Structure 1
Amino acid sequence: MDNLTNTKSSNVYLITAVASLGGLLFGYDTAVISGAVGALRSFFIDELSTDPALAQSAIIQYKAIIVLSCLTVFGLFGAFFFRFFKRTTSIILLVLTFLIGGWLLYANFISEETVLSETLTNSILGFMVSSALVGCIIGASLGDRVANSVGRRNGLLIAAFLFFISAAGSGYPELLNPFSSGDLSTFIVYRIIGGIGVGLASMLAPLYIAEMAPANIRGKLVSCNQLAIVGGMLIVYFVNYFIVKGQSDQWINTIGWRYMFLSECIPAVLFLISLFFVPKTPRFQVLKGNDEAAIETLTKYNGPSKASLILTEIKRSFKIKKAPWLSYGWGIIIIGLLLSVFQQFVGINVVLYYAPEIFKGMGMKTDASMLQTIIVGIINLIFTVIAIFTVDKFGRKKLMFIGSVIMAVSMIGLGTVLYSQDTGMAALLLMLLYIAAFAVSWGPVTWVLLSEIFPNKIKGAMAIAVAVQWLANLLVSWTFPMMNNNTYLTETFHNGFAYWVYGIMAVLSGIFILKFVPETKGKTLEEMEQIWEPKQDVPTVNN
């Protein structure tokens, strides 16, 4: 019996490790850009200022990409209208969204002259860094459809292939260019392709683990995906550091940044190959009417005594009727959306994506800035582990509020230190304190809250919260260079302005948590339903 149990445990941990590679690539792909920001500006953008014809062509293509990206995002988010409103109302809102959004886009962006201004330069750089997030929105929006059509495992195979294509194309966009576009535009397209892989993996990897893991260790194994994401970020920080260590800026700006993106090919290929050796989930097999394959997999990972019972439970779960997303009122929807928005508006991905550039702005050289980024990754990993082991002990609400307070102090303090032009140890310590506060609170605990506050009948509403989270990430990452590199703001605030903005957002996030978010610690899903039922229209909860 012990040997059988050990074998089952080994099998489960093995498939968890394979699926968690999806989370690792998620973190790797989103963080790899951090070491290349300066080089990308030098390689792709600086030459535009000396070649007006090249600049005009690049700007036209950039505008086209922005228009297509906006239309895609408008369409994907517009589809959510049909889950909240009647068909006629949804169509009207969708048309208004396209008309208003299109007019704003034309008036404030498309109609502008094709001249490389400072604002446009910073906009292009910001979008190059954050363009993968457009793909993340697409991938996350399509994740449920992919999971139910080709399956969880096969969906991860698609993600692995997209990771590989993106890594190779981002490294050499001028050679791998089937789009007949400029190098800058081609690079952006490949980053969006990688983002689609991230979006798919962000949904399918934890879903695959949850459906394969026995109930008694499911929480621990699903947590491995979050650790893998943070671990992937830390690994790429090390990779970037060793690529640039001892190299000249000229080499980094022409060759080094390519190696950063190409390095992702290695874990992508490993992930792709490994997925062929793990099974499809029993839930997907039942969904497709293949009960024999489902019972075989369940027996292998849960034992013969539990396999039949679990299969019965899976079949019963398909009979649960889904309720309209507004069954519990707007309150729960708004809280879910604001949890996602504040998680990004406190500025975490600015630190993760632009860390080396931030440290360079503090006067550090390239090697030193990369080394400091590794420290950021280590702090992020350590405090994420702490969060996993404390969230059930201290509660979600308390951790989130404490995190908001410390992040507010850290960001306002960092902005003040930069404003006073004191870029020594104080700035670094405030940055690390901010990372620790986020990693132990808003980083992992937001996902815990999102998974708990939505009752089973409207669990699908979590999709819009996740999509909004990617959109908020895109907005913050795209606008940071516009604030941080703006001549007026830099001369006036010495790069402190953006951090004050994020500090204010942290203050607002703390007020939001304190007044509107319920404590879900120790509550069953049925108890959560009772919390929302008497307060369907007001996003306020008394604990």
Structure 2
Amino acid sequence: MNKKIMSWSIIAAFAGFLFGFDTVVISGADKTLQALWHSSDFFHGSVVMAMALWGTVIGAIFGGIPTNKLGRKKTLLLIGFLFAASALGTALANGPWFFAFFRFLGGLGIGASTIAAPGYISEIAPAKDRGRLVGFYQFNIVLGILCAFLSNYLLSDIGENSWRWMLGIQVFPSLVYSFLVFNIPESPRWLLSESKIEEAKVVLQKVFSKDEINQFIEEVNNDNIATPSNENIFMKKYRVPLMLAFLMASFNQLSGINAFLYYAPRIFGEAGLGADVALLSSIGIGFINLIFTMVGVFLIDRLGRKMLMYIGSIGYIISLSLVSMAFFFHWTGMFVPIFLFLFIASHAIGQGAVIWVFISEIFPNHLRSSGQSFGSTTHWVLAAIIPSLIPFLFTTIGAGVVFLFFAVMMGFQLLFVFVMMPETKGISLEKLSKILIKK
């Protein structure tokens, strides 16, 4: 694998670290903020906790616009500034609405990053390594999640304002990321789509021979010529990739993954664990997530996307059913953490490793950002709705019923993988788009 391509991919993928850290860091301040501002369960869940997710929805809906108009690199830079502003603003917040506004900014960064970062990496990566390189984005997400859990644990006892430090510390990785992005080139596929051929050649000369450059430009230009500029993803010919993106994104959230990551300490508390044990179990979740994401990234270009989804779906069904049973039958001790460790492992090796790779592959070059925006929006609308309802649902129908619902949904995901999902490993982006259009 070309070292420069790997270096550029790792830097772009670091947006995933900020995504993961920002998503989970709020869990350490969850109950403290509710007590501090005397919020009801509904207000706390739907405004204080979920405002970042609503920002993510907006970022996902409109993130394709700067990614297309400004380019992948400038959008990645904008993402870094949004995360830095969010971290600083939430750390200094003196009320729930001020806090929610800056969480919203961080959400914009998350939503845009799910479009710009995987899209950038998929466009610079060779077909045989594309899954692994785009998988770095997911690896960084779970690394950020683990670091957020560790950071929350280490900062939890430093005083009444510990929550401010938990949230504000993200300023530092945000600024480091922004500095690194200055040193990566623009996506050559985006430059060619904008008819900036000479600029694309300058980038390609860093990684390809002259013959390879000419072949690359010819293949991409042929694809661009064959596709009118006034097309959109809702045309009948793109029905298959659109449906695949919608179902992949929907099932990701119907597993309950974001609901769990946002409320891990609360869920462990519902299972009868003390506060310290709950926080330590959350750190365990972060380690399991990281380890099995590494396994998924290692296997994705070997076994393929579809096989990882089979493994993950079966693991989801088993683990979520066991968690549900633990709540129904009042199993105490470490049963719930162990079952949820299995759930996280199943997610990491399946949906976690596959989703952003798969959605970045299935749309043609000129519609990739729009297609990713649609898939990301679907993902984040559900990611905003489901965690917002968790405190209310736990109080009204109970955790057992909630986790049973997630288990049933994963049965439907297994059916989707078997019936509809195509294998995309090792196929060039241009060839893959032609295959899916024919379908």
Pairwise same-fold verdict (TM > 0.5): yes
Among 362, 365, 376, the alignment partner of 2:274 is 365
Aligned CA distance change for structure 1 residues 450 and 274 (closer, same or farther; 3 Å): closer
Question: Contact conserved, 1:386 with 1:440, CA < 8 A, in 2?
Answer: yes
Question: Contact conserved, 1:41 with 1:125, CA < 8 A, in 2?
Answer: no
Measure how far apart 1:287 and its partner are: 4.8
Measure how far apart 1:188 and its partner are: 0.9
Aligned to 1:198: 110
The answer to whether residue 414 in structure 2 is matched with residue 510 in structure 1 is yes
Measure how far apart 1:419 and its partner are: 2.5
Aligned to 2:150: 238
1:159-181 Cα deviation digits (max 9, x unpaired): 1111011001111112xxxxxxx
SS of alignment partner, residue 318 of structure 1: helix
* RCO higher in structure (CA 8 A, sep ≥6): 2
How many matched pairs?
A: 434
Aligned to 1:56: none
The answer to whether residue 263 in structure 2 is matched with residue 270 in structure 1 is no
Aligned CA distance change for structure 1 residues 278 and 402 (closer, same or farther; 3 Å): closer
Percent identity of paired positions between Structure 1 and Structure 2: 30
Among 210, 213, 216, the alignment partner of 1:310 is 216
Aligned to 2:200: 294
| Residues 400-409 or 151-160, more deviating | 400-409
| Residues 281-290 or 228-237, more deviating | 281-290
Aligned to 1:180: none
Aligned CA distance change for structure 1 residues 201 and 333 (closer, same or farther; 3 Å): closer
Q: Output aligned runs, 1:72-87, within 5 Å.
A: none
Among 8, 28, 40, the alignment partner of 2:33 is 40
Aligned to 1:221: 133
Measure how far apart 1:483 and its partner are: 0.7
Alignment partners' CA distance in 2, 1:18 and 1:333: 29
Alignment partners' CA distance in 2, 1:532 and 1:235: 41
Query: 1:500 is aligned with what amino acid?
Result: L
The answer to whether residue 23 in structure 2 is matched with residue 30 in structure 1 is yes
Query: 1:464 is aligned with what amino acid?
Result: F
Among 400, 416, 426, the alignment partner of 1:496 is 400
Alignment partners' CA distance in 2, 1:305 and 1:408: 49
1:390-427 Cα deviation digits (max 9, x unpaired): 34444444432442233222222212212222221221
Measure how far apart 1:362 and its partner are: 2.7
Aligned to 1:406: 315
SS of alignment partner, residue 263 of structure 2: helix
Query: 1:266 is aligned with what amino acid?
Result: F
Scaled by the length of structure 2, the TM-score of the pair is 0.88
Among 4, 13, 18, the alignment partner of 2:11 is 18
Alignment partners' CA distance in 2, 1:330 and 1:299: 36
SS of alignment partner, residue 496 of structure 1: helix
Aligned to 2:48: 128
Question: Contact conserved, 1:397 with 1:513, CA < 8 A, in 2?
Answer: yes
Structure showing greater Rg: 1
| Residues 145-154 or 12-21, more deviating | 12-21
1:496-519 Cα deviation digits (max 9, x unpaired): 232122122222322333344445
- Runs of 5+ unmatched residues, structure 2: none
Query: 1:200 is aligned with what amino acid?
Result: A
Among 65, 82, 92, the alignment partner of 1:172 is 92
Alignment partners' CA distance in 2, 1:279 and 1:373: 37
SS of alignment partner, residue 277 of structure 1: coil
Question: Contact conserved, 2:285 with 2:344, CA < 8 A, in 1?
Answer: yes
Measure how far apart 1:271 and its partner are: 1.1
Measure how far apart 1:340 and its partner are: 1.4
Aligned CA distance change for structure 1 residues 15 and 392 (closer, same or farther; 3 Å): closer
Aligned to 1:481: 391
Alignment partners' CA distance in 2, 1:414 and 1:437: 14
Question: Contact conserved, 2:115 with 2:372, CA < 8 A, in 1?
Answer: no
1:519-540 Cα deviation digits (max 9, x unpaired): 5567777588667756xxxxxx
Question: Contact conserved, 2:246 with 2:375, CA < 8 A, in 1?
Answer: yes
Measure how far apart 1:469 and its partner are: 0.9
Alignment partners' CA distance in 2, 1:348 and 1:34: 14
1:463-521 Cα deviation digits (max 9, x unpaired): 3222111111111111111111x2x43xxx4x323212212222232233334444556
Alignment partners' CA distance in 1, 2:32 and 2:291: 30
Measure how far apart 1:315 and its partner are: 3.8
* Structure 1 stretches of 4+ moved >6 Å: 455-458, 522-525
Among 248, 262, 278, the alignment partner of 1:353 is 262
| Residues 140-149 or 329-338, more deviating | 329-338
Question: Contact conserved, 1:126 with 1:480, CA < 8 A, in 2?
Answer: no
Question: Contact conserved, 2:300 with 2:353, CA < 8 A, in 1?
Answer: no
Alignment partners' CA distance in 2, 1:473 and 1:304: 45
- Runs of 5+ unmatched residues, structure 1: 49-119, 175-182, 535-543
Among 60, 65, 71, the alignment partner of 1:151 is 71
Question: Contact conserved, 1:123 with 1:479, CA < 8 A, in 2?
Answer: no
Aligned to 1:471: 381
Question: Contact conserved, 1:299 with 1:306, CA < 8 A, in 2?
Answer: no
Alignment partners' CA distance in 1, 2:296 and 2:354: 8
1:136-192 Cα deviation digits (max 9, x unpaired): 122222222202322211111111111011001111112xxxxxxxx1111111111
Alignment partners' CA distance in 2, 1:215 and 1:142: 28
Aligned CA distance change for structure 1 residues 16 and 453 (closer, same or farther; 3 Å): closer
Alignment partners' CA distance in 2, 1:147 and 1:331: 23
Aligned to 2:185: 279
Question: Contact conserved, 2:131 with 2:425, CA < 8 A, in 1?
Answer: no
Query: 2:292 is aligned with what amino acid?
Result: F
Aligned CA distance change for structure 1 residues 374 and 273 (closer, same or farther; 3 Å): same
Aligned to 2:246: 337
Alignment partners' CA distance in 1, 2:136 and 2:209: 23
